[in-house]
Amino acid sequence: MRQGATAFCCWSGGKESALSFYQAQAKGINICSLLNMVSRDGRRSCSHGIDTGCLRLQAEAIGVPIIQARTSWSNYEDDFKKQVLELKDKGLQMGVFGDIDLQEHRDWIERVCGEVGINPVLPLWQQSREQLLAEFIQIGFKAIVIATQAKFLGKAWLGRRIDHDFIEDLKSRPELDLCGEQGEYHTFVFDGPIFTKPVDFRVSEKLLRDAHWFLELIPGIPE
């Protein structure tokens, strides 16, 4: 990582995005934009199905602008590259990604970034999952579970805080990845060291869709 370089952070709204932002920033990378790919109707993020208004509130609380590019899975790569090229034209040199050790994801990131002339940075790569979660908690990030694969984790896990009890409960289930890297669960980060204020949001209903449980989030309504 080159200190002082400007970068975007590939943003899902979850714990790996937030921790990779934090670690890259701590190493001197200046993150100037969040890049968030969303559904064609603009209502939800592609990665975790989070309400796009809540993601905008995250960006506001962090103090970094967010780009929410509409796409579909069939056009995802082309639309992603288009946005990255536009960021490159604005002078950004790097992209920060929160992947831990899925090689096929890294291969895709390196290929796509190479094709558009952006340097990929993966601060969390091959770090211990338990250590990453412990660091996430220790430095003050706060997050809740907002999606689970129903075959692994049920409705009761929705809304749980990412804390030490959460880690211990997951460790008792050796078939699960501690960080949910196989899609067992997804999170929404609402406070922490990269935030200037907590994110203003509310939780709504719990829904079962396509063998996944989802906790609906609603952007907070200012008083």
The model's pLDDT over 137-179, given as tens digits with 9 standing for 90+, comes to 999 999 999 999 999 999 999 999 999 999 999 999 999 999 9
Q: What is the pLDDT of residue 221?
A: 59
Band of pLDDT at residue 49, cut at 50, 70 and 90: confident
Band of pLDDT at residue 222, cut at 50, 70 and 90: very low
**Residue 29's closest CA among 47, 9, 55, 4?**
4
Average of per-residue pLDDT across 25-52: 93
pLDDT of 223 strictly over 70: no
Q: What is the pLDDT of residue 1?
A: 47
With b for 16 or more beta-carbon neighbours within 10 A and e for fewer, the 112-141 pattern comes to bbeebebebbbbbeebebeebbebbbeeeb
Q: What is the dihedral of CA 127, 130, 133, 136, to 10 degrees?
A: -60
Tally Cβ neighbours within 10 Å of residue 207: 13
Percent of the chain with pLDDT over 70: 97
Classified as helix, coil or strand, 206 is strand
Q: What is the dihedral of CA 43, 71, 85, 24, to 10 degrees?
A: 50
Q: Is 38 exposed, middle or buried (0-12, 13-18, 19+ CB in 10 A)?
A: buried
Q: What is the pLDDT of residue 220?
A: 81
Give the separation between CA 3 and CA 105, rounded to whole angstroms. 25
169: phi > 0 → left, psi -120 to 50 → alpha, else beta; which?
Answer: alpha
Give the separation between CA 97 and CA 122, rounded to whole angstroms. 5
pLDDT, tens digit, 9 for 90 and up, residues 83-107: 999 999 999 999 999 999 999 999 9
pLDDT, tens digit, 9 for 90 and up, residues 15-28: 999 999 999 999 99
Distances (CA, A) of 190 to 30, 63, 129, 146: 21, 13, 21, 12
Place of tokens 């895709």: 108
For the entire predicted model, the pTM comes to: 0.94
Tally Cβ neighbours within 10 Å of residue 10: 23
Q: What is the pLDDT of residue 5?
A: 86
Classified as helix, coil or strand, 121 is strand
